[in-house]
């Protein structure tokens, strides 16, 4: 009697996957645990093993198909060695990492690898946070021969968000170390080998990064995706009519960046497009496809600069690579910058008067701190600036909360922590929170969740200098405020000229959802908030 083999649960929150390869055909004899297909989720490529020995009688899928959990993939007649007992269906097969593929990450979520029986266990780099695919090894904290306890830190890894300690999920003796300081490693990479490992568990809960709740993305796969006003958007296809080979994670990133996958050249086997291919496409000048900005020129290969003199190549950090990717994404949106000025003479006097009190409380009453409250006032009157544009659905997602991102200059690069619920905090509380966040950002100790969920960004370069600048958007936000250095000018005050402190400011906004007139009104509202702020109490 033929038995159906369905797609089992792939992992928490994963509802479907793409068939990468079908490894058997109708009539094939299979043994228990023999791989039947390779399936790509948004996290890894995994193999579907046969639940028992038998003969394949039906194959219901082909490479490129998008299938949901529970869908029937194969039918087979049990028989031979390892067959399921009569009267009992085969057990649901457990997915295994694909040989040599990125599926190792799926097996390494707990940070523990599986080696030969009785042999050492590989401790692997666990998932460090949503959207983090790799990191740089800063320090290796153990060496071969050391005894390690469960939860003991074994390495410090720098991601594009923070420096984190990786704990050992098991206790035992270090049999080998596979990494060194400076290595760039991906999720699932082997870190150390542990002999006599016991108590293998998931990485400690406090080391797991909780990602904020997010809207379920609209899948752009072989299953039609709902577009604006109920329209049906087909899966991207190349100009010759064939389906573009790419997995869910790649398609999701392409949707977020507005990239036409049909224009991207895949680097994986069979021309399959990877996440890195999409990022490279954007970095090199690729833009959105039909319906979006025109594609820019692809950057040509660099010449051999050494032919003209001595050179030095320096690797860039994970943070710098992330900044480069984000800037390329930001540049793909049609942006407009509006400039204005604010008379902050009275505000500066207010700031100097109360700064000692705030400092004594552990904060810093800076112009950036005041800008957080000024921005919130303007966002309440212009909610479209507190939104994100959902390209896939053709909708504007307007947030009912005010989490203000603040750009912090650090030795490692630009880091943008978030002041949550800025509308519910007093100026004094914002000053204290921002001071602590900025210090943790400079020390690379800021938590991943402290960098997520921002709705609008502030960038203040006034402490460095300049008369104005055009800040780039912080996707998926649609607005950012830039502050430059103030200067004393002679201003006509009705009867005479008076010296007044004037601060230049600028607001960059996404022109897809915000018109120029509203951009000017919002910028003026922010300027007025600065000019009127001195009349308000400190604790409001």
**CATH assignment at residue 361:** 3.30.559.10
pLDDT at 202: 40
Contact 403, 418 (CB under 8 A): yes
Q: Which token pair is 510?
A: 């996404």
Confidence of residue 392 (pLDDT cuts 50, 70, 90): confident
**Is the pLDDT reported for residue 341 higher than 50?**
yes
pLDDT of residue 335: 93
Which residues, at least 6 apart from 162, have a Cβ–Cβ distance to it below 8 Å?
444, 445, 446, 447, 448, 451
Q: Among residues 97, 122, 148, which one ends one of the domains? A: 97
pLDDT band with cut points at 50, 70 and 90 for residue 430: very high
Residue 103 included in any domain = no
Last residue of a domain, one of 164, 181, 207: 207
Count of domains observed in the chain: 4
**Residue 142 covered by a domain:** yes
pLDDT at 131: 63
- Give the whole-angstrom CA distance, residue 507 versus residue 225: 34
**For residues 43 and 12, what is the distance between their CA atoms, to the nearest angstrom?**
11
Highest mean pLDDT: which of 129-143, 283-297, 461-475? Answer: 461-475
Buried b vs exposed e over 166-198: b needs ≥16 C-beta within 10 Å? bbbbbbbebbebebeeebebebbbbbbbbeebe
**pLDDT 10s digits, 136-180:** 888 899 998 899 999 899 998 887 667 788 999 999 999 889 999
Do 134 and 63 fall into the same domain?
Answer: no
More confident residue, 290 or 400: 400
Question: Residue 66 is part of which domain span?
Answer: 3-97
> Within 76-176, where are the H helices?
104-107
* The predicted structure's pLDDT at residue 198: 62
d(CA 59, CA 172): 45
Residue of higher predicted confidence among 111 and 54: 54
Lowest mean pLDDT, pick from 16-30, 257-271, 283-297, 303-317: 283-297
What is the rounded average pLDDT of the residues 483-506?
95
pLDDT for residue 68: 86
Contact between 338 and 506 (Cβ < 8 Å): yes
Q: Are residues 83 and 170 in the same domain?
A: no
Q: Which of 93, 12, 97, 9 is nearest to 46 (CA)?
A: 97
What is the residue whose two structure tokens read 């519910």?
424
**What angle (nearest 5°) sits at the alpha carbon of residue 23, between those of residues 22 and 29?**
130
pLDDT at 260 over 50: yes
Answer yes or no: is pLDDT of 483 > 80. Answer: yes
Determine, yes or no, domain membership for 181.
yes
Q: What is the pLDDT of residue 218?
A: 31
Among 225-229, 351-355, 410-414, the range scoring the smallest mean pLDDT is 225-229
- The pLDDT of residue 212 is 34
Query: Is the same domain home to 257 and 173?
Result: no
Q: What are the pLDDT digits (tens) for 75-104?
A: 988 876 544 443 334 445 556 555 444 433
Confidence band (pLDDT; 50, 70, 90) for 474?
very high
Which is more confident, 101 or 348?
348
> Tens of pLDDT along 18-49?
888 888 999 899 888 888 988 877 656 778 88
For the chain, the distance separating the N- and C-terminal CA atoms, rounded to the nearest angstrom, is 74
pLDDT (tens digit per residue) in 443-464: 888 888 898 899 999 999 999 9
- Are residues 372 and 441 part of one domain? yes
CA–CA separation, 482 vs 503, rounded Å? 11
Distance in angstroms (rounded) separating the CA atoms of residues 410 and 419: 18
The answer on 227 and 203 residing in a single domain is: no
Bridge-based pairing state of the strands 456-460 and 479-483: parallel
**Residue 278's domain is classified under what CATH number?**
4.10.320.10
- In a domain, residue 480? The reply is yes
Q: Do 521 and 464 belong to one domain? A: yes
Question: CB of 528 within 8 A of CB of 536?
Answer: no
Residue 18 vs residue 255, higher pLDDT = 18
Distance CA 84, CA 33 (A): 12
Q: What percentage of the chain has pLDDT greater than the value 70?
A: 76
Structural domain contains residue 323: no
- Any idea what the CATH number is for the domain that residue 26 is in? 2.40.50.100
Least confident of 158-162, 310-314, 465-469, 509-513: 158-162
The burial of 411, by beta-carbon neighbours within 10 Å (0-12 exposed, 13-18 middle, 19 or more buried), is given as: exposed
Statement to judge: residues 292 and 406 lie in one domain: no
Name the catalytic one among 66, 184, 338, 511.
511
What pTM was estimated for this model as a whole? 0.54
Which residue, 531, 506, 536, is CA-closest to 519? Answer: 506
Q: What is the mean pLDDT of residues 384-395?
A: 88
| 243 close to 64: Cβ distance less than 8 angstroms | yes
> Do residues 22 and 148 both lie within one domain?
no
Claim to verify: residue 491 and residue 364 sit in the same structural domain:
yes
The yes-or-no verdict on residue 527 having pLDDT over 70 is yes
- Assess whether 71 and 157 both reside in one domain: no
511 is catalytic: yes
The average pLDDT across 513-532 equals: 95
Q: pLDDT value at position 109?
A: 40
- Tell me if 9 is assigned to some domain: yes
Residue 319: inside a domain: no
Q: Is residue 230 part of a domain?
A: yes
Per the structure block, which two tokens stand in for 224? 């039609």
Q: Are residues 431 and 517 in the same domain?
A: yes
Query: Which of 182, 207, 232 is the last residue in one of the domains?
Result: 207
**Residue 238, pLDDT score:** 52
Please give the mean pLDDT across all residues of the chain: 79
Are 389 and 437 members of one domain? Answer: yes
pLDDT at 208: 39
């Amino acid at each position: 009697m033929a038995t159906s083999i369905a797609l089992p649960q792939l992992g928490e929150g994963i509802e479907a996957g793409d068939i990468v390869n079908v490894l058997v055909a109708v009539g094939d004899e299979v043994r228990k645990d023999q791989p039947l297909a390779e399936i790509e989720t948004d996290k890894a490529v995994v193999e579907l093993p046969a639940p028992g020995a038998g003969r394949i009688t039906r194959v219901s899928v082909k490479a490129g198909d998008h299938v949901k959990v529970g869908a029937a993939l194969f039918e087979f007649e049990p028989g031979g060695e390892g067959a399921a007992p009569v009267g009992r269906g085969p057990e649901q097969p457990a997915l295994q990492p694909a040989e040599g593929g990125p599926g190792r990450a799926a097996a390494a979520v707990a940070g523990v690898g599986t080696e030969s029986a009785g042999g050492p266990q590989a401790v692997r780099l666990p998932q460090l946070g949503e959207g983090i695919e790799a990191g740089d090894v800063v320090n290796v904290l153990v060496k071969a021969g050391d005894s390690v306890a469960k939860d003991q830190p074994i390495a410090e890894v720098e991601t594009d968000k923070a420096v984190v300690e990786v704990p050992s999920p098991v206790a035992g003796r270090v049999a080998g170390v596979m990494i060194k300081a400076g290595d760039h490693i991906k999720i699932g990479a082997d870190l150390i080998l542990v002999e006599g490992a016991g108590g293998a568990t998931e990485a400690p809960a406090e080391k797991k990064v909780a990602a904020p709740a997010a809207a379920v993305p609209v899948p752009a796969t072989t299953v039609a995706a709902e577009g604006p006003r109920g329209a049906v958007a087909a899966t991207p296809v190349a100009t010759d009519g064939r389906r573009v080979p790419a997995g869910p994670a790649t398609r999701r990133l392409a949707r977020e960046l507005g990239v036409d996958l049909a224009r991207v050249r895949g680097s994986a086997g069979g021309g399959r497009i990877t996440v890195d291919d999409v990022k490279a496409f954007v970095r090199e000048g690729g833009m959105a496809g039909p319906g979006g900005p025109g594609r820019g020129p692809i950057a040509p290969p660099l010449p051999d600069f050494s032919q003209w003199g001595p050179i030095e190549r320096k690797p860039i950090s994970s943070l710098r690579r992330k900044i480069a990717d984000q800037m390329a994404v930001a540049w793909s949106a049609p942006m407009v910058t509006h400039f204005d000025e604010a008379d902050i003479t009275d505000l500066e006097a207010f700031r100097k008067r109360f700064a000692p009190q705030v400092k004594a409380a552990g904060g810093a009453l800076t112009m950036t701190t005041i800008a957080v409250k000024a921005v919130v006032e303007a966002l309440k009157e212009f909610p479209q600036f507190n939104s994100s544009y959902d390209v896939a659905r053709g909708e504007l997602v307007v947030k009912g909360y005010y989490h203000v991102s603040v750009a912090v200059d650090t030795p490692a690069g630009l880091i943008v922590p978030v002041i949550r619920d800025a509308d519910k905090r007093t100026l004094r509380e914002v000053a204290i929170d921002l001071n602590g966040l900025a210090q943790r950002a400079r020390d690379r100790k800021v938590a991943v969740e402290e960098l997520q969920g921002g709705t609008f960004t502030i960038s203040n370069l006034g402490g460095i200098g300049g008369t104005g600048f055009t800040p780039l958007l912080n996707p998926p936000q649609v607005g950012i405020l830039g502050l430059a250095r103030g200067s004393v000018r002679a201003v006509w005050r009705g009867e005479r000229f008076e010296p007044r402190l004037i601060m230049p400011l600028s607001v960059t906004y996404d022109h897809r959802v915000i018109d120029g007139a509203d951009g000017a009104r919002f910028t003026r509202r922010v300027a007025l908030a600065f000019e009127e702020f001195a009349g308000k109490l400190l604790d409001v």
